[in-house]
Amino acid sequence: AAAVTVGVLAVGTWIAKGPTPPEMRMVSATEVRSRVSSAFTSLHSLRGDVAIECAVPVGSCSPTQDGVRTTRQWSFITTAAGDERITGIGRRDDVAYSASRREQTVVSDDGPPFAQVLSNLAPGPPDFANRSSVLRRDVASVVRAFLDTTAEVPVTDVTEQERLAWRLVIPVTPNKLAGPGGSGDQLEVIVDRQSGFPLRIIETLAGRFLDEVRLSNLVVDGPVDPGSFTLKVPAGAKAFRHDGGFHSVAASKVGAIVVYQPVRPGPHD
């Protein structure tokens, strides 16, 4: 498993069905991985739903009892600027992050109503930063594992969510940090042919199901309401607030603040 922000190939807006069929031709696994990589690095905006089904604890999904599969679902909006809104479906689990304000608000009712408001956050660890979302922690983890593979496996034409897609079954190296039985040795990946997005990824270990990630109702590069990334703390919720103390300043003023000459990358670095 890995973790990155979900991105999108800039190919316009599509919802569930009705695309113009791409030209039929044989493609290689390397070409499919290249399409997926381009989709993630060409992000403008993406919204949709994500479901994670698991038979072992995986990121945000944990089985309620041994051997019983559990499914958790979220709706999401993400932008190239780093804004995110992740909302649990069927439960209160809401996370909003505004990159321009460097502020994250989390509201949960897993137990007593609770809210967390983190302001002036650092861009990332090791400083106190925003909580890693299900998109970066769970979805992108299996996507990165797929992109890191080099096996030239057969690519099969299939239909997924009424869309033409490619199917690949790829061997991967289990992640030892996940513990015994916690990471798979094979990924089955279904990739939308038009957009380059993985629509379904199934992880197995010695043929045993571990987890499945499904993306659906995707809207690529559609309009995004900036208010989506502002979340109010509900009345009666116990709120934890923390100011990380980070502020944006002009590059020309950094030297005076840190009292030494910062080293900045040159245009060719």
Segment 197-212, tens digit of pLDDT = 999 999 999 999 999 9
* pLDDT for position 254: 75
* pLDDT for position 266: 61
Mean pLDDT calculated for residue range 112-141: 81
* pLDDT for position 14: 40
Instruction: Calculate helix-pair angle for 140-147, 29-41, nearest 10 degrees.
Output: 140
Reported as type and span, the H/E element at residue 241 is strand 238-243
Q: Does residue 193 contact residue 24 with C-beta atoms inside 8 Å?
A: no
pTM of the prediction? 0.78
Q: Measure Cα distances from 25 to 21, 135, 156, 193, 260 in Å.
A: 12, 32, 11, 11, 58
Rounded Cα–Cα distance for residues 139 and 5 (Å): 9
Mean pLDDT calculated for residue range 231-245: 86
Is residue 22 predicted with pLDDT exceeding 50? no
* pLDDT for position 212: 94
